[in-house]
Structure 1
């Protein structure tokens, strides 16, 4: 489900202070979180760690300070909100917000644990607190200078329909207060993840409905086999996903009241009238046979929608007397592509 570069963590001693164990050593403050498929599930997990950038590097004089206290503020300078949590089982997920992705802002929540990188105990989950979350105080040879974030989960309440690329999600603000007798300093870092989602989307099209009303006529207009009367134009609009641009579409019709019908006359559910309906391709002016596969049109490189014009007429299909009554016909138009 994920493509992750697993980080190797190491303690680094500064040359000017052999007692300073930096964790880790200047590795950067983010990891890429890549979801390569989102067609089957709305929830994504991984167990890899995200360790923030070392707050105190060997280049800073703070590496020599003795006492260090760290706090983590998950809802300050972050893309995580505590105003719209979502409970899933025993876990409370926090809302992702104010990122560059409108989809994530509307449909994504996050859950993770955090703790002092040098701690062997259990961490704390992100929760919904506004107050800064205390991590630890370290001194002497075991200075904690960062935060370990782990057991990430991303929850989506909808499957994305487009790629989400390189969206930064800031997880909060990490502060470390360092002091040594008479002097003190405050350092900050902002751990983050980068989300990439590539949905495994099915290429699909939506077809508009057409309710065609032919006017009332006299039965005398349909006395003989092959007689036709009235004409009503209508259009069918097909909207497809953007990855079907430049694709040729085909269509076929199926008679809803007589599925075995392969003629060019649509059956009438009032069969006693002895009148049916013919549907014509407006471009060729030819009647359309049921189940026959015909060209609908080709989507261009700009639009993912296409319109095709048709018309319908009453049609006398047998030699029996025409009987006054209703004419009600239905077909299903199916779109296909290769």
Structure 2
């Protein structure tokens, strides 16, 4: 039987917050300001660190610590880092040549390095002095040695599962709680045991199955945009929820005007899809020109995270011309909760306090 006060006690013990609301880390559309606002409201604010260099990351953490004494979450990727594959990129660039020509991009000037790097001991060295309350991961977990190191700081470890099998693996390998990501969620799929998209379920089907199979707290993510969604997830066994899309229009985000306009239009059209075009891994975003013309899932795309090299250049040139044709407009299926309000107001509303 769902007992609200009991849930709050569990949330307090797990992540130290008063409210069962975690703001999803959203690289590219936020910095410390959104994290601080959510934490100050009583939820758990998150800082996406996977695309930050160490100096920038440390400065962002210092900004968080200067503005709040409440718990916060640092989020990282745990992907394998393959070498740059010349053959794959040559084939990919050939496919993209009409777009390069259209936007006057010289392929010979493209870089060969990617901005997304996995969690390692160098990053751990940088964040250890801060002993963050929570550290969360996407695409599995880091090495057992790194997991043990994080736990020695007293930090709680969360990671994302998109299947029951991934949830069981995370529990067995040291996670303190599991973020169950339904297929409705925006941004990158957290899948790591398989890249088979047919394995992906909606949250309301996946959540109770995971709850039945693991013995650690479960956090629900995907398609939750209001207090009714929060309450439904808690009734199905979640200890807390993680919300991303609903925060995209908040005043503390860096969401671009092009992205904001697409979200507002999408609230009526509801046209999102899972694509690998922008980074090489499946992620949900609002459908745009390049997704339509190259198909949502394309086998020519280079490995994550290197695919973002070419698409990043197309995006820069296109956005300069006020077009989102090549932009990764990450967004979940449910945009009804998106509102141009403060993150504090949204957090309290999600928790049923507004």
Q: Provide TM-score, normalisation by structure 1.
A: 0.19
The structure that has the greater radius of gyration is: 1
Q: Provide TM-score, normalisation by structure 2.
A: 0.18
Q: Which of the pair has the greater relative contact order for Cα pairs under 8 Å at 6+ separation?
A: 2
- Identify, as 1 or 2, the structure richer in helix: 2
- Identify, as 1 or 2, the structure richer in strand: 1
